[in-house]
Amino acid sequence: MNVSDLHPIPEQVGPDVFKRPKGIAVYNRATYARDMLVNSSCSYLNGGCEHICLATPNGPRCACPDKLNFDNGTECSPRTYTCPQVYTGKKGQIRSPGYPGYKNNLHCMIIIRMRNNQHEQLRIQLYVEDFDLQDKYDYLMVGSTKLSGSILSRYNRYTVSSTQEDLKLLFVTDHSVVGRGFNLVFSVHKAVGCNSDRPCHNGGTCVNDEYCMCPDGFPGDWCDHDIDKCASNPCQNSGTCVNKNNTFECRCRGYYRGSVCQYDVNTCRNHPCMNGGTCHSLLDAYQCDCVDGFSGDVCDSRKY
């Protein structure tokens, strides 16, 4: 039995187009074979789809139910996670939801409520202790400033002056890669003012005679406090930290190198020299001094 026996192919008579009776599908051999292949493409393991599999001539295509979208092309997740957060008080800590790490498809409105009952000029300071987002695709809006990527210095500071009761931060992520997230510390102060009699120190800028915009590492109303950059013990492997003007220096021990002594350059640590040979560590290599009777780069050849 062949395809035409199951689905007869009518012969066209004259110029009139063959009219199909209702409820009867008419196929030729090519379209029947193609449609059978298409219809079966979702029958095995639902085409690899988590929810909806759509059979197409080019193979199965996954789809998601309403209010869901793709995580990786086959799995679905809620389209948007909302995570409103409201902070009150004169100081506090703001972390991305789930820190360290965060979810995809976030749309978080974070509000710092200042309770400015006397309508004074207030100042909010944001200290960035950690900030690591997928560059360009995930971001945090602080006022009109868009923060993204990785901010390595834990002493970056963003200052906002406002008489409004609420300061809003918007955290948005896409559907793919995630980073560590962010960890911020905020504090609310009365704007003390700055002018020629009360200047901003250490390179700070006076904004509208209201407050000082301070460079990284110099907090205080007039940028007159120097943060101890060594307080967080940034030097690794027993390195010694030296606090300097707006930075720090690590003095490394032994064979450790790098800005925070993170690299071990002791090329003899794995004892490459054999048969009692003595290893001398070089910058990016080593040298073996062999005992009598042995030779070779690692003293592995016996002399005869």
The residue among 77, 108, 124 that closes a domain is 77
pLDDT above 80: residue 116:
no
Q: Which of 96, 87, 85, 145 is nearest to 114 (CA)?
A: 87
pLDDT of residue 80: 54
If pLDDT is split at 50, 70 and 90, which confidence band does 162 have?
Answer: low
Establish if 163 belongs to a structural domain: yes
pLDDT of residue 29: 46
- Mean pLDDT over 188-217 rounds to 79
DSSP codes of every residue in 23-86: T-----HHHHHHHHHHHHTTTSGGGG-SSEEEEETTEEEEE--TTEEESSSS-EEES-EE--EE
Number of residues in the chain:
304
The number of domains in the chain is: 3
Q: Are 219 and 225 within 8 A, CB to CB? A: yes
The whole model's pTM is what? 0.44
- Mean pLDDT over 52-65 rounds to 79
Shared-domain flag, residues 120 and 185: yes
What is the domain-level CATH number for residue 62? Answer: 2.10.25.10
If pLDDT is split at 50, 70 and 90, which confidence band does 10 have?
Answer: very low
The residue among 191, 220, 249 that closes a domain is 191
pLDDT of residue 13: 42
The residue among 139, 157, 191 that closes a domain is 191
pLDDT above 80: residue 189:
no
Shared-domain flag, residues 18 and 58: yes
pLDDT of residue 156: 54
Shared-domain flag, residues 94 and 124: yes
Q: Which of 88-92, 197-201, 239-243 has the highest mean pLDDT?
A: 239-243
If pLDDT is split at 50, 70 and 90, which confidence band does 74 have?
Answer: low
Task: Note the pLDDT tens digit of each residue in 229-242.
Answer: 788 788 999 999 99
Shared-domain flag, residues 99 and 142: yes
Shared-domain flag, residues 71 and 137: no
The pLDDT mean for the chain works out to 75
Shared-domain flag, residues 108 and 181: yes
Domain span at 54: 3-77
- Mean pLDDT over 126-152 rounds to 79
Q: Are 234 and 248 within 8 A, CB to CB? A: yes
pLDDT above 90: residue 275:
yes
Shared-domain flag, residues 73 and 86: no
pLDDT of residue 1: 43
Establish if 278 belongs to a structural domain: yes
